[in-house]
Amino acid sequence: MEALGWTKERRRGGKTSFPINLPMVSVGELRGNVSKIRFRISDTIAKRGEATSEAVRQAFPEAVSRIASCLGFEPTGKPWVDEGADWDFENGSQVRLLIGENMLEIQVRSKEIADNERWERSRGIDPSDNLANRPE
C-alpha cells in the first residue's frame, strides 16, 4: 500500500491517496495470500451512472502508472473479457487491474488461476457465457 502512496490503517485495508470522501481500500486474502484489492476513486459511491463511470475511466491511467511503478514494468496485456490491464510474471502469476462501474479493482492471481483463463482463451471459451453453450 505504501508503494502505491496509500496508508495502511488496519490488517486488511487502509486509505487511497485519491481525493475522495471515502478513500477506503479493502484487501482480500485467500489461504494467507493477497487475492484482491478493491478501492473506489469517485465520490459518487452509492450512485452508478455515466459520471461515476467516467471518473473511474479517468483514474485508470494513473492507477496503471502507479502499479507499473510499484511492479517495475508496464502492463503486458489486457484481460480477455473485462476492461483493464494485466501484468504477467515469469512464474505464471498475474496482477490484474479491472475497470468496474464505480471502482477499480486489483486482483493478484495465482499461476493456476491465470493458467485457467489462458487455457479458456486459447479455446475461445468466454467465461461469462453459460456453461451449456461451451464447446466440448
Element (H, E) at 87: strand 84-88
pLDDT in tens, the chain (136 residues): 777 777 787 777 787 766 666 677 777 777 766 667 776 665 555 566 677 778 788 889 988 998 899 899 999 999 988 899 999 999 998 999 988 877 788 888 888 888 888 998 898 887 776 655 555 5
Question: Which of 93, 135, 85, 90 has its CA nearest to residue 118?
Answer: 93
pTM: 0.71
C-alpha cell, 110: 495465482
Q: Are strands 104-109 and 33-39 parallel, antiparallel or unpaired?
A: antiparallel
Q: Are 85 and 75 in contact (CB under 8 A)?
A: yes
Secondary structure, 3-state, 102-121: CCEEEEEECHHHHHHHHHHH
